[in-house]
């Protein structure tokens, strides 16, 4: 292993900076494209807050359509199926099925900017050599933040497909906050047999389905961030109708191209479920406060100071 790193160091010393950077960016681009393409199956483990969750994944891609099946292997029994912009969540122990619009990416598929050069403004990209994950050869890529406003990432990318087979998320002290890794992985020549088929739901299951009144809608520009952390811009502004509530919750999303923070604005500051101050779970931080008659809650995979900064910068146009 030491010899491998010495060879990598010697190679990096004779390769010019621009050529090396271009190589890193090509791997990041390959990684971004692979997350939505290809046919494969495997098992991965996800570690956060001293808890481990194991899941089996089946992924199918055909004519621009994507089908993803996830099944928990420990803890509460559940199955998630992503297809046609919807997520069907099946809970066998509860005899319950929830069908909702898909609003976020898979847990191990990071949202990367279309212009990879955007990352260079606030992150340093490095190639760290090779390793084996799930019996497959991988290229290690380090995405190191240039300040304390964002987390760092270390990716192990499959050499053949570019798919991320392992990921570590770390803070400014290099402490690992979250860890994801495939334990077995198989690339398939065609979509799996279960893909793109109608989800079978037993007759005795209760179905909670998002109806048309609960669909996401574009929101007005009455709420905004007065001063954002450097590199962050607003990328989304929507209204999210909530079950059993008369009014919708407005959601603003801010991102630097990799880190993302969502701000939820609820015209009900007296709710018993409101968050006052800071809380955290792994790499995800949340900060809540009351602004006039509104509850503002910021949640994101970013340092606590960044999440708090964004929450406290939210203002309402008169």
20-45 per-position pLDDT tens digit:
445 887 888 788 777 677 889 999 99
Residue 199 pLDDT greater than 50, yes or no: yes
More confident residue, 171 or 267: 171
Of 26 and 146, the structure prediction assigns the larger pLDDT to: 146
pLDDT at 74 over 80: yes
**Local confidence band at 84 (pLDDT 50, 70, 90 cut-offs):** confident
- The boundaries of the domain holding residue 262 are 212-316
Instruction: Please state the rounded mean pLDDT for residues 156-171.
Output: 92
Q: Whole-angstrom Cα distance, residue 180 to residue 170?
A: 12
Residue 58 pLDDT > 80: yes
Together in a domain, 163 and 262: no
Mean pLDDT of the chain: 81
Same structural domain for residues 224 and 132?
no
User: What is the distance between the alpha carbons of residues 210 and 238, in angstroms, rounded to a whole number?
Assistant: 16
Residues 166 and 262 in one domain: no
Domain count, the chain: 2
Question: Are 180 and 223 part of one and the same domain?
Answer: no
**pTM of the shown model:** 0.79
pLDDT at residue 20, as a whole number: 46
Q: What is the pLDDT of residue 4?
A: 31
pLDDT at 212: 44
Q: Are 176 and 300 in a shared domain?
A: no
Q: What's the pLDDT score for residue 204?
A: 87
Sheet of strand 152-158, all strands in order from the earlier edge strand to the far edge? 123-133, 136-145, 152-158, 164-170, 176-188, 39-48, 51-62, 65-72, 79-83, 86-91, 96-101, 206-209
């Amino acid at each position: 292993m030491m010899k491998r790193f010495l060879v990598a160091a010697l190679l990096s010393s004779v390769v010019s900076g621009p050529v090396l950077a271009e190589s890193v960016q090509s791997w990041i681009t390959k990684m971004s494209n692979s997350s939505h393409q290809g046919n494969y199956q495997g098992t991965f483990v996800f570690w956060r807050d001293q808890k481990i969750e194991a899941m089996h994944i089946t992924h199918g891609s055909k004519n621009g359509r994507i089908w993803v099946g996830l099944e928990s292997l420990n803890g509460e029994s559940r199955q998630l199926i992503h297809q046609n912009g919807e997520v069907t969540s099946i809970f066998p122990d509860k005899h319950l099925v929830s069908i909702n619009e898909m609003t976020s990416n898979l847990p191990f598929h990071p949202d990367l900017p279309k212009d990879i050069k955007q990352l260079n403004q606030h992150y340093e990209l490095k190639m760290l050599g090779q390793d084996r994950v799930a019996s497959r050869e991988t290229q290690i890529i380090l995405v190191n933040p240039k300040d304390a406003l964002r987390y760092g990432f270390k990716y192990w990318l499959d050499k053949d497909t570019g798919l991320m087979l392992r990921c570590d998320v770390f803070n400014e002290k290099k402490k690992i906050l979250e860890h994801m890794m495939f334990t077995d992985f198989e690339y398939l020549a065609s979509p799996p047999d279960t893909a793109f088929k109608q989800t079978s739901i037993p007759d005795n299951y209760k179905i909670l389905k998002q109806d048309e009144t609960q669909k996401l809608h574009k929101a007005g520009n009455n709420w905004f961030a007065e001063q954002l952390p450097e590199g962050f811009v607003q990328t989304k502004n929507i209204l999210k109708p909530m079950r059993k509530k008369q009014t919708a919750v407005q959601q603003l999303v801010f991102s630097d191209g990799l880190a993302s923070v969502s701000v939820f604005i609820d015209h009900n500051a007296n709710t018993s479920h409101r968050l006052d101050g800071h809380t955290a779970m792994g790499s995800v931080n949340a900060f809540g406060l009351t602004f006039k008659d509104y509850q503002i809650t910021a949640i994101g995979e970013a340092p606590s100071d960044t999440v708090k900064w964004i929450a406290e910068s939210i203002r309402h146009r008169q």
